[in-house]
A and B are shown apart, each in its own frame.
Chain A
Amino acid sequence: MSDGFAPVNTDPFTPEARHIAVVAGGLGDPSSTRLLADRLTEAATAALSQEGIVPEVHVIELRELATAISDALVTHNNSPALADAIDQVEQADGIITTAPTFKATYSGLFKSFWDLVDDQGIVNVPVLLGATGGTSRHSLMIDNAMRPLFGYLKAKTIPTAVFAASDDWGEVVGAAESSRTSPLQSRILDAGEDFASVVARLKPRPRRSRGEPKPLEVVSFKNLLRGPGS
């Protein structure tokens, strides 16, 4: 019987592996927010492979966890699927996350999921942001709404991010009508490369075997008795 607080190890079989959690916050199925997450993931994993890294991708579709997330908010009880998703995020070496724009910000579901992640869970973890919206007038949503959230979580948010408006899905690299802005696909490739270069520089984080709970930190009672700051 495991005590649940044994030391944890990095993945012993593939030391060059990096685990990428992809959190897609789209509400539809199919969803353009998921599509953006997939494109960003392809770009990032291709760039990581170039650097000799073996990317392991864990996709979390928030839509499938919607009921579990609301249950967890009102009862503090995570369903097994939700607990697994949070585990994947809190152990990831890099995170790609995308949200739809609702009323000038991300959706409530997206915020609710991140509310359930531990405050210390993704400190210093590279995060690549993406968002979708009806028109490019919402482009600053990433900077105005998403960055502060991941700033609070002390993540290493990548400066390059991708906003995809509905129109962007009709643009093609090299086509004349795409000259107004850099086309979506090239922005995705740039963001994926920037994210990959940061992930590749960092050491992999410790991982637990699947389903094994987070280890409890033992604080010696003598130190507790001496009071805070001892």
Chain B
Amino acid sequence: MTAPSRIPSGSRSTPVSTASYEPDTGTFEGAYLSPARMAAVLGAMAALLAVTMIVAVAYGTVRIDLYRALTQPATSDHAILFSARLPRVLMGAVVGAILAAVGAALQALVRNPLAEGGILGISGGGALGAILALTVGYRLGGGPVAIVPLCAFAMALLSTLAVYRLAQVNGRLEPFSLLLIGVIFNAFWGALILLVNALVDLYQVHSIIAWLMGSLEAPTYYQVALVAAMGLGGFAALFIRARDMNLLSLGDDAAADLGVSIEAVRRTIFIATSLMIGAAVSVSGIINFVGLIVPHILRLALGADHRLLLPASVLGGAALLVAADLIARIVIAPAELPVGVITALCGGPFFIYLLRREERRSLVT
């Protein structure tokens, strides 16, 4: 059912599956996305995520007894599990899911596997928005917590629109000018974050490293719920456009010929991804490369259909970030690394590999 035969192993030019077809039942096994295949893949990935989360909850700098933690509320094991590990693992899952889904949608938008919220500078814009909100909110003596992610959303959207506009050459989106503009925006937002930090001492609110490197320390359940709600809203908007994203990969003109309203799809992707990035960034800072790696690997393994790729990215991104955060917590125990260090260490080389490969292949045929 899951059609592992689709995975191009090694050489990309080998025929992947000679679809067996029975005209009576009308099945091309594995050559297209059937509801059964989708359910099987997502079920398997959900199981993988569940296992990852259980492992991540069970292990950490302090050894705890899971059974005692679950059965005896008075123990320190219980306290560690429910007030430290669980919210952190949940937040890791939510943020990872958001980053990967956003990556998949942005890649569909620009028709290029090199796109991602972090690389395009959108996360940086969001992080600056969050920091500005924290600064002002802090000065004003607090305020509703949702102000922070909403400001992050606004700045992320501004950043998205700016990058998208500036990367257009004669009305066409140039992949490499897009990457270049993204790099510039990244540096620009990073500098502004440092500037704001220098003017206003933010250390009491959040460590500056956490904003620039990305970290998942000590979220509250309220924060988890808020970010999850925003993420879910954005994901729903993207998922409704999944088939349009498929058509978009044929080119804007061809997609329009097939009934896609290009402007409406773009608008949805801009707003939904900015909302999601804003939510993620406001609690975790800039975590790079998850949105790049996850959709790319899943596309190779599962095919390019966004109706599967988007939800699969959610599950895969969640599992990856939870696992990366587990490593960040235990690798230099008792100290902790920001999780962004782990994703950047793995993602940097991967990005270079992708870039090299894309340079060799012509991008959009």
**Chains A and B bind each other:** no
B residues neighboring A (CB under 8 Å)? none
A residues neighboring B (CB under 8 Å)? none
